[in-house]
Every structure is written in structure tokens, then in C-alpha cells.
Chain A
Amino acid sequence: MILTLVGVSKGMLNDQKQRSRGVGADIIVRPPGSAAIGLTGNFDERILPFLQKQSHVAMATGILVEPTGPLTSITGLDFAGFQKMSGDFRFLKGGPIQRPGEVVIDEYYAREHKLKPGSVLKIFNQEWRVAGVFEQGKLARIVVPLAVLQSITASTGKLSAIYVKLDDPALTDSVIAQWKSGGLADYQILSMEALLSQMSVNNIPVLKAFIGVVITLGVIVGFLVVFLSMYTAVLERTREIGILKALGASPGFILSILFRETTVLAVIGTFAGIGLSYAARWLIMTLVPGSLMQAIVPDWWPIAGAIALGGSLLGAVYPGLKAARQDAIEALAYD
């Protein structure tokens, strides 16, 4: 459970990172006060021509992002400007948008929703025809022309972000410094490199807290499961424990048996958990690749193992002590 949830958290970030990298920009400009991760929150698009005129700016393109569900969003692009910056969309099926009312979607979204060119999907109470399915990794899952999205979401003249490509990427930091000192101090201006490096669990307090809650829940649930399993196991083995005591087994011997058994179970459970995290990833990539992503997190394997082992051993202490102190005569009479 822990490996899967942490994997989903990291997987979602990695996916966003990969898609952001796919833009091909050097700088991202976001509205004042917006979060580094996520593209909601809008600002006036008139800043775009202002940026395009700045020195060393080779090109700049704006996008608008509107959420369509808890984990999905639709992105409006200036296709010409965006493709000039990041390269053409590589269509696996169908092709680019030709007429109003069409969208293009990435392969994961198409797989999850079983869509293909010609399929119809409903977004914002409007039916859209799928024109093409493009290779994933191009910033967004559902893409429509920028003007269309601005119009249907009453966001005319608004952008969520502007991507800027410089004529010399080595000047990125100095250009950012110049802009910040030149009247754009309130804006979130980040190099793409800095943005990508911020896309880690430790740099996102909410995600860090979320994972903390997940781990805590995992420990509590794991502890209770192991505790109750061991308690039940001890009850079911009352007679066996009585036999061992009659044979001269000391409380320490019985405790050591229970602890060894618990350790073996915890180790097997850890390996099973690792295997299940692969199974969960397969399920996610098969059923909901457009909504969720899961990474395999080997750096968490020892942590998960330690949690499993620690929780199991703690859970075994009470029933173990109870079993070891059990009266042999009562235990032998147990049926």
C-alpha cells in the first residue's frame, strides 16, 4: 500500500516533469502568487507580446489550462507557436485539428477512455470530436486551440502560463534576473530546469504531508493487521504452545519462535508488497493511464520493509508475551 501510494505520488510528478520537459522551453512565466506546480490561475495575455519583445527571446507561447476533473485538465495551445518551440506533435492515429469542435488527445488518455479518431468526448457540456491521438509527453493530455478554450471558459484574454525559449539557453538565469528587476518581480518566473528540480516530493509541502499521512495510515493499518493476525494465530495455537511448554519450552523459546515467524512473514510481506506495487502499476497503466501514473520506488523498499518488520514485531509483542506466560495445563485443555 505504501509503495503504491508513494509510487503514485512520484509517478504523477515524474509524468508532469516529463511533459513539462517536452515543451522545449527555457523559462516559464506564471501569474503572481501561483504555485510552482500546477497550471491553474490565470493572468492577462498582454504580457505575451511584451515578453516576445525582450532581448534574447527567440519565441514565447502562452497556454491556458482548465481542470476537467480531479486529475484531468484540458489545455489550450497556440498550435503554431507551441509546435515551433517543442517540435510537431507526433500523431499515432489521426492528425491535427482541422475544424471547430475537434480536440487532440494523448495516447494514455485515449487508452484509458477507449477513444480514437472520430470518437466523441464531452467536456464542459460540449461534445468534441477526436481528430488525432498523439504520443504522450507533450505537456497535456487533451489539447484544443487556445482561443477556443478561452472562449468556452469565459477566459478570453487570459493565460495560465507562458513558455519562453531564448536564443541562448546559457543566458537563462541572467534573463530571469533582468526581468525580475525590470517590473516582473511579482510574477513566478522560473527556468525550466529549476521548475523540474522543484518537482520532487520534498519540495511540495502538501505532497510531503500527504505521504506522511499515507505512511502513518500504512503503519497503523499494518500494525493492527499484524497484531490481530498474531493474536488470532496465538489463540489458534494455544494447544500447540501448551505442548511446547509441556516439553520444557521456556517463555523465551516460545517468544523467539513467534518473533522468528513474524520476521519471516514481514520479509515475505515486504517482497509481496514490492511485487504488488508492480501489479498496481500494471493495473494503473492498463486501466487509467490518462489519469494516474505510478512509479516504482526502489528507494522506498527498505523503508517499507522496516515499517513492515517494526510493525510486525511490535504487534507480536503482546500476544507473544501472553502466549509465553500461558498456563500449560489450561493451554493443553484448549480445543
Chain B
Amino acid sequence: MTSAPIISVRGLRKVYRVGEVDVNALRGVDFDIQPGEFVSIIGPSGSGKSTLFHILGGLTPPTSGSVLIAGQDLLGMTDRDRTKLRQKTVGFVFQKYNLLPTLTARDNIEIARYIAGSTGPLDGEFEQMLTLLGVGSRLHHKPRALSGGEQQRIAIARALVNHPAILLADEPTGNLDTENSEAVLKLLRDLNERLGQTILMITHNPEAAAYGHRVIRMRDGHIEGQG
């Protein structure tokens, strides 16, 4: 892994204003992620890992520092730029799946394509990926008819449908039982190994974190260690 990092973070700070109090969520974070890496970020509640996730995903702007994602600096980005980043460059997987309840699994996937400006049927390669995800036969069901594991696999498919450079997963196994957790984690590792998908996974579970190539440990808004 000697190519230019796909994510490069330097001196990242994020300050939230809560009432009249400034809350330092990130206090100077530095790390690099290489293309094709599967990195776990682990840390207790309040360590700043979710804030980092939101900044890397373009959901909130950084206060200061440099955040380069696929060559784009998030610091100077407008809302519109961050919206485009979310359409094409990053894909999200959430702890609570966050599927739209009124749409079928297939429509949940296709709406992500539609938002990104793609139309027409899903390509053959992606249909194969759906088979790999084990949800090919469940696409006409609405989320309420799917198990937690199936919903999370649909959410992964939705995150990957626009072929993003980075897959951001926030506690992807947080709502799943052991068996489904293991299946989802193996799937993420499989996607990383087979497709070279860059994955950044936030978790507080060391067993889940161990599925990554390396682990970044966070505490109190800064990186405590890597390895």
C-alpha cells in the first residue's frame, strides 16, 4: 500500500457550540487511509469517533485542519460540494440500517442511484454483488419484512450501488445478534478483499474491530494509538 492515501486527515478539530458552551469533539486528529484498506476505528462513547464519521462523510464541516478525501479537501467545501461527495464518493452504513420504510429493498437501493443521477437497470456486476450479499431473493420485500441482518445487507448494497471510493460503516453490527454480526463483518471483509473496497468502520467492539487490517483507537477527541 504505497499509493497516495484516499483519506488524509491532518490537525482535524471540530468544535460544537452547545448553548453558550464550546464542546471540543475532535482535538487534532491525524491519520491516513490507503486505497483498499479496511480500517476499524474504536473508542468509547464520547471519544469523537461518530463526529469523525460525520466529517468524513460530509455530513458536517470540520472546524479546522485538513481532510482530504479522494483528493478533495472538505474544509473549504460548501453544502452543495458535500452533497455531491455523499452522492458519489462515500457510501454510508448505519447502525440502525436507515432504510426507507415505504420502499422495497430494491427501491431503497435504486433511490440511491437516482439521487446520484444514474438511471436504468442495475448493472450485471452489481446484481452479482447482490447475490454475494445474499439478498437477491429478498429485493421485493419492504424493510419490515426483513430480518436485521437482511436489512443491514440491503443497506450495504445501497451504500455500494454508486461504486463509492470509501464505505463508511458506523457500528454496522450494533443492532445485530452474534450470528448476523459475524455474517455482516465477514461480508465487509469479503467486499474489501474481492473488490478492493476501502472501508472505514466505527465500532466499540474489539472483536468487530479485529476484522479490519488495522485499528485506530480514539479517546477524548484524539487518536490514542494505531495498530
Contact = CB atoms under 8 A, between A and B. Distances in A.
Q: Which of B54, B59, B60 has the most CB of A within 10 A?
A: B59
B187 interface: no
Contacts of A239: 98
Interface stretch (A32-40, A110-118, A209-217, A241-249): A241-249
B36 to A, nearest CB: 23
A240 B100 contact: yes
Contacts, number: 47
Interface in B78-128: 80, 83-88, 92, 94, 98-101, 111-112, 115-116
A151 interface: no
Chain B interface mostly helix, strand, loop or mixed? helix
Interface string A218-247: 000000000000000000000110111111
6 tightest A-B contacts by CB? Answer: A248-B87, A248-B86, A243-B98, A247-B112, A249-B115, A328-B59
A329 B60 contact: yes
Interface string A179-196: 000000000000000000
Nearest to B103: A240
A246 B87 contact: no
A16 to B, nearest CB: 51
Contacts of A253: 115
Contacts of B94: 246, 332
Nearest to A244: B115
Interface of B: 54, 57, 59-60, 80, 83-88, 92, 94, 98-101, 111-112, 115-116, 158
Q: Which of A243, A246, A248 has the most CB of B within 10 A?
A: A248
Nearest to A248: B87
Interface in A282-335: 327-329, 332
A253 to B, nearest CB: 6
Contact of A246 (B57, B84, B116): B57
Interface of A: 239-240, 242-250, 253, 327-329, 332
Contacts of B99: 243
A246 B100 contact: no
B98 A248 contact: no
B92 A246 contact: yes
Contact of A248 (B54, B84, B100, B101): B84
Contact of A243 (B60, B80, B83, B100): B100
Given A239-B98, A243-B98, A243-B100, A248 B116 contact: yes
Given A240-B100, A329-B54, A247 B59 contact: no
B80 A250 contact: yes
A248 B54 CA distance: 13
Contacts of A242: 98
A246 B98 contact: yes
A321 to B, nearest CB: 14
Contacts of B112: 247-248
B115 A247 contact: yes
A332 B98 contact: yes
